[in-house]
Amino acid sequence: MLSKKTKYAFHALIYLAQHQAQGAVLIQEISEAHQISHKFLENILLELRKAGFLGSKKGKGGGYYLIKKPEEIQLSKIIRLLDGPIALLPCVSLNYYEPCEECKEETQCGLNKVMAQVRDETLKILENKSLADIIEAY
């Protein structure tokens, strides 16, 4: 299951994409529109900015805005940033890999094989779908 953090991130990104014309958008505005705690959302937007998805402007008239095109924002990247690994086991994670404690030969482990397959199919979708794709039908 995706965490609230990730869900909020998606909502915020969608909101920002749909209000690109208006320039910088206040945290406040997004948090009210989606009923998210202002401060919690603030932390999330901060992470998204540090990761290069958003830009920000301080002071009056400030706020957040997308600095990547919605087409260029892969869903997989957002999930990894806020939720961590997409894989079901550390030993098949591409970005958060950790060796299996039990297996000597991971490549010969049946569980590893299946979970690697799940990971591949999941990534095939999440890497090829972008923010733009989910907005289309929103």
Partner DNA sequence: TATAAAACCTATCAATATTATAGGGAATTA
Partner DNA sequence: TAATTCCCTATAATATTGATAGGTTTTATA
Give residues in contact with DNA (CB under 7 A): 3-5, 24-28, 36-37, 39-40, 42-43, 45-46, 49-50, 56-64, 83-84
Minimum CB distance to DNA, residue 128 (Å): 25
Nearer to DNA, 101 or 136 (CB): 101
Is the Cβ of residue 48 or residue 89 nearer to its own copies in the bound state? 89
3-state SS, one letter per residue, for the chain? CCCHHHHHHHHHHHHHHHCHHHCCECHHHHHHHHCCCHHHHHHHHHHHHHCCCEEEECCCCCEEEECCCHHHCEHHHHHHHHHCCCCCCHHHCCCCCCCCCCCCCHHHCHHHHHHHHHHHHHHHHHCCCEHHHHHHCC
Which partner from the list its own copies, DNA, none does 60 bind, CB cut-off 5 to 8 Å by kind? DNA
Q: Return residues touching its own copies (CB under 8 A).
A: 1-2, 7, 10-11, 34, 75, 84-85, 87-90, 102, 108-111, 113-114, 117-118, 121-122, 124-126, 129, 133-138
Q: How far is the CB of 58 from its own copies (least distance, A)?
A: 29
